[in-house]
Amino acid sequence: CELVGDPTQADLAVINTCTVTRRADADSRQKTRQAARAGVNQIILTGCWATLEEHSALELPKVTRVVKNDDKSRLVADLLGQPPELFNREPLQREPLPGSRMRTRAFIKVQDGCNNRCAFCVTTVARGSAVSIPMATVLKEVHAALRGGSQEIVLCGVHLGSWGRDLSRGSSLQDLIQILLKETDIPRLRLSSLEPWNLGANFFSLWQDSKLCRHLHLPLQSGSDATLHRMARKTSPDDFSKLITAARAAIPDVAITTDIIVGFPGETEEEFSDSLAFVEVMNFAGGHVFTYSEREGTPAAGFNHVVPITVRRERSAVMRAAFARSAEHYRHLYIGQILPVLWESTTDLGEAGWQLSGLTDNYLRIKASDDEDRWNQISDVKIIRPVNGDLQGRIITSHSA
């Protein structure tokens, strides 16, 4: 059994589907059809969309099997006809997969499921209750990734902030982060999305360790108190603002990004205006805007006062423009500064050298040119100017390989 980077060379493909929005549903189906057109004769679908829509998934071309989320951990063992016990050993060294997208970051899943019941979210239906991966298992995965050359570890989960609550008494995400920083040689540790509640009084003090990336993605979903209440979110604009103030006080130059849903059922013009004004005053480093789409099986799918789709799209455009302005403002703050950049992709330009693209720890996309291929290295880069939504820089020193 060999991994290949080109689907035209593959006999079998496993596609992990998503159902967070209708667009995600469509993308899952599109990727499946693309694999079939590329000549893959056996396709196995797993993930949230396939779990919720098993019949529809099996009707797609070349799909021979659906593996639901509850059975995903046994997928490889079943596929190879081996007992699951063979795979409960030390993780294999993580190395970049074949293909054009060479990964410099290792995404380590430490948690799955969610005990929140936000009115719009179908993920809890597909993933179930919150379950934490034991700390010892996480440590093994991180060590395997570091042995494979990863320069950055990203901790992931559906509700990452709930890690540890179903494990030994008193365990928390803060405990996990402290252990990883203490017992590994991680050059960079990044956190994926965190719900903006129950993070602990001293949570932001963790960033006294410079290996922890200065980026927090805290999904708000609306800047309107009334809308958040209907969404069954466990926060308010006031509480969220206090959280951001605390984060910025503890973590200099931290990038705060968020998610906003527009057009949620019952969202009036006044509520949208409140949400927009809140986004503008918070000075986010960026954000994702989601045009609300009904998800069968969620409470919101049965709500009255549905916002017309044309209005949803108009509000989405306005909100995206607001985020674009705040992101541009944040990027401009760093012109003239020197920042460490992990080079994620490089392009050979022949005699012109190499074109490099990478990320700072506070999630700024940096472009630079150099005589050497510095893929998966961290360089100190002086930021020169903005360029097409990114930043252009000049390498000062390179201090990792």
Residue 303 in domain: yes
Under 8 Å between Cβ of 378 and 401: no
Query: Is 287 part of a structural domain of the chain?
Result: yes
CA dist., res. 32 & res. 124, Å (int): 24
The answer on 233 and 134 residing in a single domain is: yes
* 234 strand-pairing partners: none
Residue found by looking up tokens 């059922």 in the block: 265
Q: Are residues 204 and 251 in the same domain?
A: yes
Instruction: Check whether 377 has a pLDDT greater than 80.
Output: yes
pLDDT tens profile 30-40: 999 999 999 99
Same domain, 201 and 308: yes
Same domain? For 350 and 327 the reply is no
Q: Kindly state whether residues 166 and 258 are assigned to the same domain.
A: yes
Q: How confident is the model at residue 1 (pLDDT cuts 50, 70, 90)?
A: low
Question: What sign does the dihedral 389-392-398-401 (CA atoms) show?
Answer: positive
Residue 273 and residue 314 in one domain: yes
Residue 93 lies in a domain: no
Residue 271 lies in a domain: yes
Confidence of residue 84 (pLDDT cuts 50, 70, 90): low
Packing angle of the helix pair 135-147, 173-183 (nearest 10 deg): 40
Q: How many domains does the chain have?
A: 3
Asked whether residue 44 falls in the same domain as residue 137, the answer is: no
> CA-based angle 135:205:168, to the nearest 5?
25
d(CA 92, CA 271): 50
Give yes or no: residues 153 and 71 share one domain. Answer: no
Provide the pLDDT for residue 31: 95
| Same-domain pairing of 192 and 129 | yes
Question: Within a domain: residue 98?
Answer: no
Are 390 and 299 members of one domain? no
pLDDT tens profile 211-244: 999 999 999 999 999 999 999 999 999 999 999 9
DSSP codes, 12-50: EEEEEE--SSHHHHHHHHHHHHHHHHTT-SEEEEEEHHH
**Do residues 393 and 299 both lie within one domain?**
no
| Residue positions counted in the chain | 401
Number of neighbouring beta carbons within 10 Å of residue 28: 22
**Residue ranges making up the domain that contains 251:** 105-332
Phi and psi at residue 338, to the nearest 5°: -110, 125
Q: What is the pTM of this model?
A: 0.87
- DSSP letters spanning 54-91: HHHHHTSTTEEEEE-GGGGGGHHHHHHT--GGGGSSSP
Query: Is 95 within the bounds of a domain?
Result: no
70 and 139 both lie in a single domain: no
The per-residue pLDDT for 352 is: 92
Q: What is the CATH number of the domain that holds 356?
A: 2.40.50
Could you give the strand order of the β-sheet that contains 152-156, starting from the edge strand earlier in sequence? 105-109, 152-156, 188-191
Answer yes or no: is 2 within a domain: no
Q: How confident is the model at residue 125 (pLDDT cuts 50, 70, 90)?
A: confident
